[in-house]
Chain A
Amino acid sequence: MSTQETMKPVIIRTIGLEKKYGMNDATTYALRGVNATIYRGEFISILGPSGSGKSTFFNMVGALDAPTKGRVLIDEVDIAQLSADELAFLRCRKIGYIFQSFNLIKYMTALENVTVPMSFAGVPPEEAHRRGMDLLKLVGLEERWSHRPLEMSGGQQQRVAIARSLCNNPKVLLCDEPTGNLDLKTGAEILEVMQKINKEKGVTVICATHDLRLLNVCDRMFWIRDGQIEKVDERGNIQIRVGHIGGSK
């Protein structure tokens, strides 16, 4: 870790993170003591083959799952110490989630989907409506605010999901294969939006992905294998390789 990085404020830190599934003989370790530090405003990619513990790490960092051992500190708060309602608070305000399958609520319009988290956070309806429309404008969907998820394309749904994830001004945006269900072009558009958010709003973005285009965008990438961080690359180190792949296209 360079001195320059240590000066940046830390947003997420994991200390000896372990997670095992099953009991007794059938126990399998998904994570075996992961120590990681993520700084504010970074764009992080988490890479690794399936079964490597990538998703588990992602869930821990996103306060979606409790670790078996070790600690996860999000904005200096140990999530293991939090009650169910406090976790709800944390998820509502500090973290935005974007999923591979969009996970919009199917019986709500785009605008309603965006405003629900705000109503959970106690934002008055008028303000929620205004902010919701602003966010839809940000992702270029203000025209389609009254459409339901099933009336929209995958890319549009993912953009609604991004708008929703941003509505309570989170500090961290967690993306699980955000481009996995999208075609190349739409995927690129979504990446553009994410990059914009990272750069303009200074939101920390953490992406679990297989999409190599993300490497072009991110600051650092965590390679996970067998439940441990195998290596951490900075974008500078890998630029050439990505360029190589880009050149062969």
Chain B
Amino acid sequence: MKPITVKEQARLSPVRALVLTLSGMYYRMNRSAITVLILSLAVAFLSYMLSYGIISHDTDYAISKEISTNRLLNEWVSRLSTPDQQLSIAQVYAGLDTLRQHEYRTFGVLTNEEVLLCKSSSEKIQKSIHYFSEIPRSSCAMLVGDADPLGVLVDLGSAQRYAVFEEKIVSLKLKPPLNDMAVFKRFVSDELPRTVDVWNKIAQGQQTAIAAIALELDSQAINTAFIAPSQSFKSALGANGFSLTAPLYSQLSVLATREADKKKLLQVTETSEIRGRLSRMIGIQNIRDLTTDTIVRWPQTVRRAESMLEAFKSLGIATDLTTNRITTMSMFYSRDAQLQKLELTEEIKPRNSIFELPEKTRWLVLVSFLVCVVGIANTMFMSVTDRFSEIATMKCIGAMDGFIMTLFVFEAFFQAVAGSLIGIVLGIALSLFRAWSTYGALAFENIIASDILLVSITSFFIGILIAALAAIAPSWAAARLAPMEAMRVE
């Protein structure tokens, strides 16, 4: 028997394999297109999910921040007229707002123990309120009803009510609040009443401070005082324990100016004469349909503001409003209304990474992903079976297994690159479109381009990965076929 050597058997260069792959792909354009299409859909879905996730989150976050900034004036006006609610005090101690915590400490002249007490009860209050939201709704209705959950907790200080409460918990077969009935009982019967006493001290201190400020303002309205806060006003606030920073003063000043301008505009448009003129200008048929909101939000452009001022002039109404002030104010309130319309209920936290998807979405991505892998694997398999006779021929004329494998791997790679690129463009475009349809122009104010790029790159590599996973098995199978087995399929 003669030995045989394969040393001379040439391994074709990758370039040659590349050319063969490309011409093969060109020849089977339809099949390649389908594979690319399926892959691109998978990648599009992924990049869409990720990209829309971050765009909507960033937009929500920016909006919620803006809304809370817009509410600053109202918040401070109310804080300077009535003491803070018990719940907001509890929230301050549960959170990290050290400035406000310091404020409360000054108001109540609190000792360290009292501060610690407030902190530990705040934590338990949050847990208990969370507990109410966690238990079945019917049980929650039995326990809390329409009442405010914090009020319910405070009421449990009375032994009688607590007994009823505990009975309900037992009969409803609920797990105990704070995971331990004894701990909960100690909390509501001892810790919470003591905390409420501290809160009352804080509220009293705040009340005294409010009175001192009112004396300083001397019947001037609080919001007008914020337009251009005098030094004495500022020092009175500081002296009485309110902690306002310089940026906060300037924010409040801007907000107060706009509010004052809004009031002025509404004052000068009170008469029916000017209202008639305005409704004609705006294009409202019935004068009764002309709401204050419409008046405020209409003069957003310089032309509209000018025509409004002209109307005032021709009717002999004196006002110190300028076009600039009117448009600024009007734009602010329109935008505010627009933000309100989005109805963000919960507080949005800043995002840490591009993968912060909601739980539900994460599942959706995963499941659809598996479907895509299966789909692509199927198309790859089809493209192998399609080519059985070609593979057989190749093997008959001396192609080695490795070469056949290379052909398929190359093909999968090209399809993966094409599919991923198309998918990314598709997905990002779709996410931008959806963001636009949800938020309008607001969506494009907060897009972080680098994050979108990161999403694209991630999706690209995941696309390649799927294709690789889906291609390995069929390529392996193709390469290992005995030439005759391949022929037989034809």
Contact = CB atoms under 8 A, between A and B. Distances in A.
A97 B490 CA distance: 17
A184 interface: no
A89 B26 contact: no
Contacts of B397: 91-92, 97, 116-117, 120, 164
B26 A107 contact: yes
B398 A91 contact: yes
Instruction: Using C-beta atoms within 8 Å of the partner chain, give the interface range for chain B.
Output: 35 or more
Most chain A CB within a 10 A radius of its CB, from B2, B393, B395, B399: B393
Interface stretch (B43-51, B447-455, B480-488): B480-488
A105 B395 CA distance: 12
A108 B482 CA distance: 23
A89 B8 contact: yes
B459 to A, nearest CB: 32
24 contacts: A65-B484, A65-B485, A73-B1, A76-B1, A77-B1, A84-B480, A85-B6, A85-B401, A86-B6, A89-B6, A89-B9, A91-B398, A91-B483, A92-B9, A97-B396, A101-B490, A103-B396, A107-B23, A107-B26, A117-B398, A120-B12, A120-B400, A120-B403, A122-B8
Give the interface centre of B390, B403, B484 by most chain A CB atoms within 10 Å: B484
B6 A106 contact: no
Contacts of A238: none
A64 B23 contact: no
A119 interface: yes
B360 interface: no
B398 A108 contact: no
A138 interface: no
Interface in A89-127: 89-93, 97, 99, 101, 103-108, 116-117, 119-122
A103 B389 contact: yes
A119 B12 contact: yes
Interface string B1-30: 110101011101000100000011011100
A134 interface: no
B150 interface: no
Interface string A75-86: 111100111111
B394 interface: yes
Given A64-B484, A119-B16, A120-B9, A88 B392 contact: no
B8 A103 contact: no
B4 A86 contact: yes
B9 A77 contact: no
A90 B397 CA distance: 9
Contacts, number: 100
Looking at B24, B393, B397, B485, the one whose CB has the most chain A CB atoms below 10 A away is B397
A59 interface: yes
User: Lowest 3 A-B CB distances belong to which pairs?
Assistant: A92-B398, A122-B10, A107-B27
Contacts of B395: 88, 91
Contacts of B399: 88, 120
A85 B1 contact: no
Nearest to B8: A122
A66 interface: yes
Interface string B400-418: 1111000000000000000
A133 to B, nearest CB: 18
A80 to B, nearest CB: 11
Contacts of A75: 2
Contact of A85 (B28, B390, B400, B484): B400
Contacts of B9: 85, 88-89, 92, 120-122
A41 to B, nearest CB: 19
A116 B1 CA distance: 30
Interface of B: 1-2, 4, 6, 8-10, 12, 16, 23-24, 26-28, 389-390, 392-403, 480, 482-485, 487, 490
A104 B27 CA distance: 14
Interface in A125-177: 164, 168
A73 B1 CA distance: 9
A121 B484 contact: no
A84 B399 CA distance: 10
A125 B467 CA distance: 33
Contacts of B393: 103-105
B34 to A, nearest CB: 18
Contact of A88 (B23, B398, B487, B490): B398
A169 B4 CA distance: 17
Interface in A52-74: 59, 64-66, 73
Contacts of A91: 395-398, 483
A108 B2 contact: no
Residue from A81, A84, A101 whose CB has the most chain B CB atoms within 10 Å = A84
A13 to B, nearest CB: 11
Contacts of B23: 107-108
A174 B395 CA distance: 15
Contacts of B26: 107
Contacts of B10: 119-122
Contacts of A122: 8-10
Given A105-B393, A119-B16, A77 B398 contact: no
A90 B4 contact: yes
Contacts of A84: 400-401, 480
A51 B487 CA distance: 17
Contacts of A76: 1-2
Contacts of A116: 394, 397
A59 B484 contact: yes
Contacts of A164: 397
